[in-house]
Amino acid sequence: TRVCDNGQIVLDQLRVCWHPFILMDYHMPVMDGLECTLAIREMERQHSFPGKPPIYIVSMTADVTGGTEAACMAAGMNRFMTKPIRMKQLASLVEEVKSMISTGGIASNEK
C-alpha cells in the first residue's frame, strides 16, 4: 500500500512497482486524477507493464457536480465513488477487486 500526494507521484511509483488497484482522488495538486488516469492508460497501451492486467482505478471525490462521473469514466477509470466513503463500502470494494484480480475478471469502466 502506498499513499501518494499527487498524480505525478502515482506515475513515478508505478514506474518502480506496478499496482493492480488504485483509489484515485479526483482533485489533487500537480496532476489531478483525470490526467493521471489518462497517463496510466497510455502507459498500459505502450506496454509499460508487460504481463500485467489493466490497473483497476476507482475515482473518489466529493465533487458531485454535473459531468464529473462521466469525465472520470471517459478518462478510463473503472468506478466512481463519492465521498464520504464508509469503511464498509471500502472493505466491500477491496474484496470485490481482489476477487476480480485473482480470476482475471477486471472489466473496463464498471460502475
Q: Evaluate whether residue 33 is within a structural domain.
A: yes
Distance CA 109, CA 111 (A): 7
Q: Which of these, 109, 20, 26, lies nearest to 73 by C-alpha position?
A: 109
Determine the structural domain holding residue 76 and report its residue range. Answer: 7-102
Q: Evaluate whether residue 111 is within a structural domain.
A: no
pLDDT tens digits, one per residue of 1-45 = 789 999 999 999 999 999 999 999 999 999 999 999 999 999 999
How many residues are recorded in the chain?
Answer: 111
Supply the DSSP symbol for 67.
T
Backbone conformation region of residue 51, classed left if phi is above 0, alpha if psi is from -120 to 50, else beta:
left
State the CATH number of the domain containing residue 84: 3.40.50.2300
Residue 110 in this model has a pLDDT that exceeds 50: no
What total of structural domains would you count in the chain?
1
| pTM recorded for the entire structure | 0.90
Beta-carbon contacts of residue 85 (< 8 Å; ≥ 6 apart): 60
